[in-house]
Structure 1
Amino acid sequence: MIAITGANGQLGRLVIQSLLQRVSADQLIALVRTPEKAEDLRELGIAVREADYDRPETLAPALVGADKLLLISGSEVGQRVPQHRAVIEAAREAGVKLLAYTSLLKADSSPLALAAEHKVTEQMIAESGIPAVMLRNGWYTENYTAQAPGLVELGMVAGAAAEGQLATAPRADYAEAAAVVLTSQESQAGKVYELAGSSAFTLTEFAEELAKQSGRKVEFIPMSQEQFAGVLVGAGLPEGFAGALADAEAHAASGWLFDDSGDLERLIGRPSMPLSATLNLA
């Protein structure tokens, strides 16, 4: 049995879709905070169980019978270490034989503020003794394309990445990689995958692609980390999260959101979907 945390989330749903192409529904356990929101998964024959990161007492019962577990990192920055610790302890109690964790690209050495919680989580997993595999996901292309219509209207792309290369891939490609690892006949214990897009772009090239697909003028406006954080706060993001994203972009200028290991492409057996296809403004 394969259990997936955060199964109602954007990545979790895509992982389940990809897993269903490889195994039957009765081999999957969808771990969700609110089971009532996953009735469609239950109707497919997937076991739906309540598992709340903030309520540790729900975790061990939810993992009964699970051989493999995909721990999708929590979305609450600043709260993830205790949340992840609770899941890891429950997995150890349940006798999980393989734990896969969605970490961050180059988490063990990355200077990104967002990397800190991932690095600690990787250490906790190693200390738990559970056989584990690290899926170090790079940036999602949707981090940029989700804002595309608004950026076209503004006629500008603001950012702090300067001309740094962003080796992004869409969530669906990272989800497929997770499904491949979870269903592999080869032992995955001890492996670390640095997952990033087959192709990369700069924010200047992103603006150019927006202009090309929309037929409108769009230009890149480079900003300092502080300026960009202010823009994000002005757009409604919480100050802490805005600061973390601006920090990530500033480090992207030095190459920290780029990787050419080819791990993602090898896992999914094809190049990841490029920006132009993900954007699809036509």
Structure 2
Amino acid sequence: MSVVITGATGHLGSLVVDRLIEIGQPAGRIVATGRDTSRLAALAQRTGVQTRRADFADPASLADAFAGVEQLLLVSTTDVGQRFDQHRQAIDAALAAGATLIVYTSILNADTSRLLLADEHRRTEEYLQASGAPHVILRNGWYLENYTDRLPVIRQHGVLPGSAGDGRVSVASRQDYADAAAAVLTSGGAVSDGSVHTIHELGGEAFTLTELAATFSEVLGTPIAYQDLPVDDYAALLTGAGLPAEVATVLADADAGLSRGELYTTSDDLAKLIGRPPTTRDQAVRDAVARPTG
């Protein structure tokens, strides 16, 4: 069985490759792809997997990258505004290559969410479903790393800013989501009870950002307050911190969606897929604090 992973130069894709190797998938049957194959060299050296160039803006490269594919993990791209066309081309290329399963990483509650991020995911899901291809959609919730990666700034200013109000967000670590993707690729989508679902709503522990700030306070041993801001003010703060305006807008909009419950789920699909409880916020914060810096 040949498994092709897109976006293997990124965090999630590379973790999926590592997990597949860990659970016994032969390295020679795994193809890690990315726009820049030089960035895949370390992954190939560490794992022994094949590497191929796959540029979503270059359909010919997709045909070459997906040659011989049986299962494709389509990791959603990061090019907001271009995602749907990129995903559509990848799905077409995979089908032309004879793929028997396409697994797509979407976003939580994609069919009902009003998030700016959700539109292209929803359109991709609809296109994939209409294609008739055997598929599994992994609607990933928010990453714990979206918060723990901001630890230095949070510690420096004693504030966790956002626009989420009292909304609850269902989160898990990148490793949790990677383990789920690997489980689907090796089981055809079956969960621990043996059932198979086409769509999985994936999320772990749910909390408010006020509760997250309390966890930062406890672990750091210093007061950290959650500062709730109007969406436009939060976007301006992110822009002032150096983020591109379009990225700041998307992130602030995500917090607005969080306040409406659009990044929350009661589904236990993630725990069932990975066979363990997802990473908690306490563990994620403690791991981030203990991680060497510099």
TM-score scaled to structure 1, two decimals?
Answer: 0.96
Q: Is the aligned partner of 1:97 residue 2:139?
A: no
Look up the SS of the partner of 2:265 in the other structure: coil
Match of 2:56 in 1: 53
Q: Report the secondary structure of 1:182's partner residue.
A: helix
Aligned equivalents of 1:149, 1:41: Cα separation in 2 = 28
**Which secondary structure does the structure 2 equivalent of 1:49 belong to?**
strand
Find the partner of 1:72 among 75, 79, 88: 75
Equivalent residue for 1:193?
A: 200
2:198 alignment partner AA: K
Structure 1, 64-73 or 148-157: larger mean CA deviation: 148-157
Say whether 1:33 aligns with 2:35.
yes
Deviation at 1:30, TM superposition (A): 0.5
Shift in Å, 1:238: 1.4
Aligned residue among 107, 112, 133 for 1:109: 112
Gapped regions of structure 2 (runs ≥ 5): none
Say whether 1:210 aligns with 2:216. yes
Q: Is the 8 A contact 2:189 2:197 kept in 1?
A: no
1:190 CA drift (Å): 6.2
Tell whether the 8 Å contact from 2:76 to 2:87 is kept in structure 1 after alignment.
yes
**Aligned-partner Cα distance in 2 for 1:260–1:223:** 27
2:158 paired with 1:155 = yes
1:171 aligns with 2:177: no
Write the deviation string for residues 91-148 of structure 1: whole angstroms up to 9, x where unpaired: 1110100000000001011111110000011111122221111000000010011001
Match of 1:260 in 2: 266
Secondary structure of the residue that 2:52 maps to in structure 1? Answer: strand
Report runs of 4+ in structure 1 exceeding 3 Å deviation.
Answer: 185-190
Q: Which segment is superposed worse, 271-280 or 121-130? A: 121-130
User: RMSD across aligned C-alpha pairs, in angstroms?
Assistant: 1.4
1:42 Cα deviation after fit: 2.8
Secondary structure of 1:167 counterpart: strand
The CA deviation at 1:251 is: 1.6
Distance of 1:149 and 1:215 partners within structure 2? 14
Identical pairs, percent:
43
Give the AA of the match of 1:132: H
Which whole-Å CA distance do the structure 2 matches of 1:15 and 1:243 have between them?
29
Instruction: Report SS of the residue matched to 2:219.
Output: helix
Q: Deviations over 1:239-271 (max 9, x none)?
A: 122111111111211211111110101101111
Residue 256 of structure 2: which of 250, 260, 275 is its match? Answer: 250
1:57 Cα deviation after fit: 0.9
Distance 2:126 2:157 in 1: 43
Gaps of 5+ in 1: none
Letter in 1 for 2:242: G
Aligned length: 281
How far apart, in 2, do the equivalents of 1:141 and 1:211 lie?
16
Distance 1:190-1:206 versus aligned 2 partners, 3 A rule: closer
CA apart distance, 1:229? 0.9
The TM-score, its normalising length taken from structure 2, stands at: 0.92
CA distance in 1, matches of 2:160, 2:76: 28
Q: Contact conserved, 2:16 with 2:178, CA < 8 A, in 1? A: yes
Measure, in 1, the Cα distance between the counterparts of 2:184 and 2:260. Answer: 30
User: What are the superposed Cα offsets for residues 65-98 of structure 1, whole Å, 9 maximum, x if unpaired?
Assistant: 1100000000111110111111111111101000
| 3-state SS of paired residue (1:74) | coil
Aligned to 1:9: 10
Quick check: 1:138–1:257 contact (8 Å CA) kept in 2? yes
CA distance in 2, matches of 1:191, 1:70: 14
Partner of 2:88: 85
